[in-house]
Structure 1
Amino acid sequence: MILEVATITLRSGNADEYVRVMPDAFPVLASTPGYIRHELHRGIERPDVFTLFVWWESVEAHNVNFRESDRFPRWRAVWGHLMEGAYVEHFAQVY
Structure 2
Amino acid sequence: MILEAAILSVRPGEQGAFERAMAEARPLIGASPGFRGMEVRPCLEDGRRYLLLVWWERLEDHTQVFRGSDRYAEWKKRLHHFYDPFPVVEHFAAPLVVQPDPMRPVTPD
The TM tier, using the shorter chain, reads over 0.9
How many pairs were matched up?
95
Unaligned runs of 5+ in 1: none
Unmatched tracts of structure 2, length 5 or more: 98-109
The alignment partner of 2:87 has SS state of strand
1:27 aligns with 2:19: no
Q: CA deviation at 1:56?
A: 0.2
For the aligned residue pairs, the C-alpha RMSD in angstroms reads 1.0
Percent identity of equivalent pairs:
36
Q: Which residue matches 1:7? A: 7
Alignment partner, residue 45 of structure 2: 45
* 2:67 matched residue in structure 1: 67
- Identify, as 1 or 2, the structure richer in helix: 1
Computing the radius of gyration over CA atoms, which structure comes out larger, 1 or 2? 2
User: What TM-score do the two structures reach when normalised by structure 2?
Assistant: 0.82
The normalised TM-score by structure 1 is 0.93
Q: Which has the higher contact order (CA 8 A, sep 6+)?
A: 1
The more displaced of 51-60 and 15-24 is: 15-24
